[in-house]
Amino acid sequence: MSLSRRNFVIATSVAAGGSMVLSACSSGGGGGGGTSGGGVSAGKYSSVSIGTKEDSTGPAPEIPGAKKGGTIRPISPQDFSHLDPQRIYYSWNSEVGNLYIRCLTGYRIDGGAMKLVGDLATDTGTMSDGGKTWTYTLKDGLKWEDGSELTVEDVRHGIERGFASFTTEGATYLQAALTGTNDFRSVYKGPYDGKHLDSVVTDTAKKTITFHLKTARPDLNWTLAMQSYGAVSAKHDTKEKYDKDPFSCGPYRLSAHSVDKSLTMVRNTHWDPATDPIRNAYPDSFTFEFGPEALQTSDRLIADSGTDQYAVMAYSGVPAERIQKVLTTPALKSRTVDGLLTGLYYYAINCKRIPDLKVRQALNYAWPLQQIRTIYGGPSSGDYATTILGPDMAGRVKFDIYGKLAKPQGDTAKAKALLKEAGKLGQKIVYTYPQGSNDAFEKTKVVIANALKEAGFDPVVKPVEATSYYDQVQQIDNSFDVMWFGWSPDWPTGFTMIQPLFDGRVIANGANNVSQLKVSWVDAAIDKAAALTDATQANAAWAALDRQLMEKEAPIIPEMYQRRFYLYGSKVGGAEYDPLNSSFVLYKLYAKS
């Protein structure tokens, strides 16, 4: 798949946020994971599970003390790039999508824990034929914003729109599975010529929709929670224009939108909370303000005056200039939520250019995580990473093969001994990073080069201008040995974290296996784990592969599970961190009197 839009937010928010306190997909709001110190409270990581039919029944659990009414005012430096469900992949768009888009499945969030439940569907689906067939039954009482019934044909229409020529920005997992090819538009071009996919079968009387996949996907229940597969009413489908004025089946509908300035959403009076186990929807409206950068927004929320008392930071966290003030002032700290990244920042080692495992292991031992994190802002910026799977991934098992938690400053002596053993003392290492995206990179390059020299390497720092960075590092014949990178999964299981980054069959210009790891046993292990129909076994298989990759191949140097802090106004209640979309859970917020 192409560079994840979720990952794109993570990788570029260094520049957007003005600090290394970045977007994260993890727990928060009292349940946030992390190391203590620097004003950061330790806590447990969020859990990930699959709910029952009972869990999928509405209404959503009430929040103690919450009341209906008022307006919540999120502030973001940027507008939403897309509002059309089939064009949504970017996390910021996904979060607002939760207010008006509903999918077959979705996440019920409680204290940072994520539980996959049926949203439009009565449960998370029935799988058969080894993951090639999935059947869903729609709930009763589902309606669109005009009061018309939401049907299985509307669900099918939303999925078939994902094949259209104008919906190229969305996820493509389901399209590929339904057709058996990544070139799925050569098989089906969307519903606008009156044709339907033979592989999607609906039964109006029974309210069922069945997917007959060419490729087994035992994790399809997770895939279908992505807004890219949200329902769309064929009657109200305006094709390309739908992006400007989407039709709602959630608790809110679009009321006004001044591009790059503001967006207002008001109640959808035809949404029935009895059908929805996920959303609370307390405010009468949301008014989004676009434009203010993180520092300006932080100062406004610190001042906490006027309508800013009902405001929340939306997708730009507290910047380095204000983080210590916020964390060391109890009254401000009490008005924050925070969370760690479900995904990972890391340094990809080019296995094509560095084929010797001992050299790659030496790089892992030598890397100065402590010095890097100090530059990023210390413990408040996140936790040291030692695994590929983030702390909030289903089945993740913690390990520390290279002793980074014991010696986060790096073990240059051990690295040098490995290099000597391999006969590679003096090995040249060309390191690159996105130049111009953040001042922190200019500082980290120095401590990285110093550590590599001490470990017996010959470091060469070769930065690439930020706007062309990914274009260059994602070339097969690039000239880099170690490349700063980041990745976040599209759902919290191992497949979308490991397969895109380490499957040797997807190495190509523009692809995300930047390490260019091409090992037959890894490819076979990916296939085996992806085919497991038992979720517990699959999670265990991905966790085992995580460790095996780092132990037997060392294709990357994990850096950090980044953390972001968000401020909110004193008259905002129900503040909780969204573990997947790295923002407030908008539909749980309420306005205090």
With 60 as the cut, is the pLDDT of residue 235 above it?
yes
- The pLDDT of residue 392 is 86
The structure tokens listed for 173 are: 């997992």
> In which element (H, E) is residue 454 found?
helix 439-454
Name which of 121, 95, 110 is nearest 265 in CA terms. 95
Burial of 554 (0-12, 13-18, 19+ CB in 10 A): buried
Of the chain, the percentage scoring pLDDT greater than 70 comes to: 92
Name which of 140, 172, 183, 136 is nearest 156 in CA terms. 136
pLDDT band at 496 (very low <50, low <70, confident <90, very high): very high
- The pLDDT of residue 580 is 87
Mean pLDDT along residues 307-317: 93
Q: How far apart are CA 16 and CA 555, in angstroms?
A: 29
- The pLDDT of residue 310 is 98
- The pLDDT of residue 546 is 98
pLDDT band at 436 (very low <50, low <70, confident <90, very high): confident
Average pLDDT, the chain: 91
Local structure of 384: helix, strand or coil: strand
With 70 as the cut, is the pLDDT of residue 197 above it?
yes
Lowest mean pLDDT among 39-43, 204-208, 562-566: 39-43
Identify any residues that bridge with 348 across adjacent strands, giving them in sequence order. 483, 556
Mean pLDDT along residues 55-64: 97
Name which of 27, 13, 140 is nearest 77 in CA terms. 13
pLDDT band at 1 (very low <50, low <70, confident <90, very high): very low
Mean pLDDT along residues 76-95: 93
Instruction: Give the domain 344-564 fold.
Output: Dipeptide-binding Protein; domain 3 (3.10.105)
Local structure of 223: helix, strand or coil: helix
With 90 as the cut, is the pLDDT of residue 86 above it?
yes
With 90 as the cut, is the pLDDT of residue 452 above it?
yes
Higher pLDDT, 70 or 13: 70
- The pLDDT of residue 91 is 86
> In which element (H, E) is residue 212 found?
strand 208-212
With 50 as the cut, is the pLDDT of residue 34 above it?
no
Over the stretch 173-192, which tens digit does the pLDDT of each residue have? Answer: 999 999 999 899 999 999 99
Q: How far apart are CA 288 and CA 295, in angstroms?
A: 17
Per residue, the 3-state secondary structure of 62-86, as one string, reads CCCCCCCCCEEEEEECCCCCCCCHH
DSSP 487-556: E--SSSSSHHHHHHHH-GGG--TT-S-TT----HHHHHHHHHHHH--SHHHHHHHHHHHHHHIIIII--E
Local structure of 136: helix, strand or coil: strand
- The pLDDT of residue 560 is 95
- The pLDDT of residue 46 is 64
The pTM of this model reads: 0.89
Over the stretch 101-146, which tens digit does the pLDDT of each residue have? Answer: 999 999 999 987 899 999 999 999 999 999 999 999 999 999 999 9
Lowest mean pLDDT among 28-32, 197-201, 430-434, 444-448: 28-32
**Domain spans, the chain:** 82-249, 344-564
With 50 as the cut, is the pLDDT of residue 147 above it?
yes
pLDDT band at 3 (very low <50, low <70, confident <90, very high): very low
- The pLDDT of residue 45 is 59
Over the stretch 245-289, which tens digit does the pLDDT of each residue have? Answer: 999 999 999 999 999 999 999 999 999 999 999 999 999 999 999
- The pLDDT of residue 519 is 98
pLDDT band at 90 (very low <50, low <70, confident <90, very high): confident
- The pLDDT of residue 567 is 98
Looking at domain 82-249, does it have CATH number 3.40.190.10?
yes
- The pLDDT of residue 40 is 41
With 70 as the cut, is the pLDDT of residue 6 above it?
no
Over the stretch 459-494, which tens digit does the pLDDT of each residue have? Answer: 999 999 998 999 999 999 999 999 999 998 999 999
Identify any residues that bridge with 267 across adjacent strands, giving them in sequence order. 252
Total residue length of the chain:
593
With 80 as the cut, is the pLDDT of residue 312 above it?
yes
Asked, as a colleague might, if the bond just before 59 is cis with ω within 30 of 0, I would say: yes
Instruction: Write b or e for each residue in 450-464: b if 16 or more Cβ atoms lie within 10 A of its Cβ, otherwise e.
Output: ebbeebbbebebebb
The structure tokens listed for 420 are: 């000597």
Give the contacts of 337 (CB within 8 A, at least 6 positions apart): 28, 29, 32, 565, 566, 568, 575, 576, 577, 584
Mean pLDDT along residues 36-62: 73
With 90 as the cut, is the pLDDT of residue 167 above it?
yes
